[in-house]
Structure 1
Amino acid sequence: MQELITSKQIQSAYKLMKELRPHLSLEEFTTKVVHQQKSMQYRLFVSYSQSQNIIGLCGVMPFFVLYRDKCLYICDFVIASHLRGQGLGQRFLQEIEEMAKKEGYLQIELSSSFKREEAHRFYEKKMNFQKTSYVFVKSLK
């Protein structure tokens, strides 16, 4: 697992992020990550294959709310679609959990769209996350 910090490093993860966030252009992705790194303590981690290809991506940031203790929020999590179901996501998320524990986090939270039913099964069955609420969004456009 490696944290991506520079714009060039961040851009190297774009192809995989596109699987999760297909609406983002390379420029939007890079600009947003750099901005979030500076303003929200966002961190972007990747997992590599033996041949040094990026096969997993996880974006996290502290989640400061009254209803959670020290919580790490997973904003983005994706494993290359052709490699899912091989335990890679489980191992990668376990590394994220270990890092969170070492940094003093007490909880991890994430949200996942209704249509990602396979991801829900993964989080609940393999990673022992609990479904605790709905997230409501209202567009202001």
Structure 2
Amino acid sequence: MQELITSKQIQSAYKLMKELRPHLSLEEFTTKVVHQQKSMQYRLFASYSQSQNIIGLCGVMPFFVLYRDKCLYICDFIIASHLRGQGLGQRFLQEIEEMAKKEGYLEIELSSSFKREEAHRFYEKKMNFQKTSYVFVKSLK
């Protein structure tokens, strides 16, 4: 697991992130990540294959809200679609959990869209997350 910090490193993650966030162009992705790093303490981590290809991404940031205690929020989590079901996501998320514990976090939270049912099973059955709420969004456009 390696944190992606430079623009070049961030751009190298775009191809995989596009699987999760297909609406983003390379420029939008890079701009948003850099902005979030500066303003929201966002951190983007990559998991690599033995041949040094990015096979997983996890974007996290501190989640400062009244209803959580020292919480790390997982904003983005993706394993390359052709590699799912091999335990890679579980190992990667365990690394994120270990890092969070070392940094003093007490909780991890994430949200996942309704259509990602396989991801929900993974989070609940393999990673022991509990489904606690719905997230509501209202467009102001």
Tell me, which stretches of 5 or more residues in structure 1 are unaligned?
Answer: none
Alignment TM-score, normalising by the size of structure 1:
1.00
Q: Calculate the aligned-residue CA RMSD, in Å.
A: 0.2
Encode CA deviations 1:40-80: one digit per residue, 9 max, x unaligned.
00000000000000000000000000000000000000000
Tell me, which stretches of 5 or more residues in structure 2 are unaligned?
Answer: none
Alignment TM-score, normalising by the size of structure 2:
1.00
Separation (CA, whole Å) in 1 of partners of 2:69 and 2:79:
28
Encode CA deviations 1:19-51: one digit per residue, 9 max, x unaligned.
000000000000000000000000000000000
**How many Å apart are 1:92 and its aligned residue?**
0.1
Percent identity over the alignment? 98
Separation (CA, whole Å) in 1 of partners of 2:23 and 2:137:
18
Encode CA deviations 1:83-115: one digit per residue, 9 max, x unaligned.
000000000000000000000000000000000
SS across alignment from 1:112: coil
Separation (CA, whole Å) in 2 of partners of 1:115 and 1:62:
26
- Alignment of 1:3 onto 2:15: no
**How many Å apart are 1:124 and its aligned residue?**
0.1
